[in-house]
Amino acid sequence: MLEKLEKFQITILSIVLALGLISAVNLATKNISNDKISVTGSAYKIVQSDSARLEFQIITRQPNRQQAYNTVKAQLPVVKKYLEDKGFKDIEIMASNGYNTYRYAPNGNMTNDIAYYNLSQTVIVKSNDVQKIKELSTEIESLLDQGIDVEIITTEYYYSKLGDLKVELLKDATTDAKERANAMLKATHNQPGKIQSVNMGVFQITPVDSTNVSDMGINDTTTIEKKVTAVANVVFRIK
């Protein structure tokens, strides 16, 4: 009786071990079909922006359009000199935009009487010295001391070598995919063979500490230091 019990226990143990092995193999080969394996690899690199752009507006509010225009016209040379004294040469003056603000009657209804005219003059400054643009973005409001009202619209930082970097990262992502395929096939005593196809995923250009991703890709322009991530979906033959 004891001998039969021991044989039964051994049989049960063998079944449990066999099921565990089958489960491990299934897990390792879940992406395997028709002697092929599909794997996603990734790679990233931290880069420093090498150009920048600051866009701001000179704003004024005057009783009428003519006075508003004359005010901005007088302020523009002061602003240009301020920028040139800081070493900026690439300065672009855009078209101005304006609109009337109307008075309201005591009952709350808008009237046809003009209270004042609002005028904004857009100025764009570009430079390859990204730190100078960053400093300008924090200092330009000092023009208020000269009676010039300015408002920053956007500060953007760019990396000009993205084309070459994308090629490099795609290569690294493909290499990562092969390493992942090797790890997955190890349990089956197989190896990844020739590449059957490679599909490049969207690139994610994000702040270094960001974990955001998007199906459409992300192109961050708000930070000087960026993280560029590439994804490659690779199909290997199994050998």
Asked whether residue 123 falls in the same domain as residue 79, the answer is: yes
CATH for 35: 3.30.110.170
Q: Distance of CA 192 to CAs 19, 139, 169, 201, Å?
A: 26, 57, 21, 21
Q: Is 6 inside any structural domain?
A: no
Mean pLDDT in residue range 49-66? 97
pLDDT digits (tens, 9 = 90+) for 220-232: 999 999 999 999 9
Mean pLDDT in residue range 165-194? 93
The domain containing residue 84 runs over which residues?
A: 51-158
What average pLDDT does the structure give for the chain?
88
Q: Is 11 inside any structural domain?
A: no
Asked whether residue 197 falls in the same domain as residue 129, the answer is: no
Q: Is 231 inside any structural domain?
A: yes
pLDDT of residue 31: 54
Report which secondary-structure segment, H or E, holds 233: strand 225-238
Q: Is 180 inside any structural domain?
A: yes
Asked whether residue 131 falls in the same domain as residue 227, the answer is: no
More confident residue, 149 or 6: 149
Mean pLDDT in residue range 74-80? 97
Alpha helices in 65-125 (DSSP H): 65-85
Q: Provide the number of structural domains found in the chain.
A: 2
10: confidence class by pLDDT, cuts 50, 70, 90:
very low
On whether the CB atoms of residues 96 and 73 are closer than 8 A, the answer is no
pLDDT of residue 141: 92
CATH for 108: 3.30.70.2970
pLDDT at 22 over 70: no
Q: What is the DSSP secondary structure assignment for residue 145, as one 8-state letter? A: G
Mean pLDDT in residue range 20-30? 45
pLDDT of residue 100: 95
pLDDT at 16 over 80: no
Alpha helices in the chain (DSSP H): 2-28, 65-85, 130-139, 162-185
Q: Is 25 inside any structural domain?
A: no
Per-residue exposure over 7-16, b if at least 16 CB sit within 10 Å of its own CB, e if not:
eeeeeeeeee
Site of tokens 């969207």 = 202
Position 94, amino acid: M
pLDDT of residue 188: 87
Q: Over pLDDT 90: what percentage of the chain?
A: 80
- Tokens representing residue 149 in the block: 């009202």
Q: Is 13 inside any structural domain?
A: no
Asked whether residue 64 falls in the same domain as residue 149, the answer is: yes
- Tokens representing residue 118 in the block: 């609002």
pLDDT of residue 187: 85
pLDDT at 184 over 50: yes
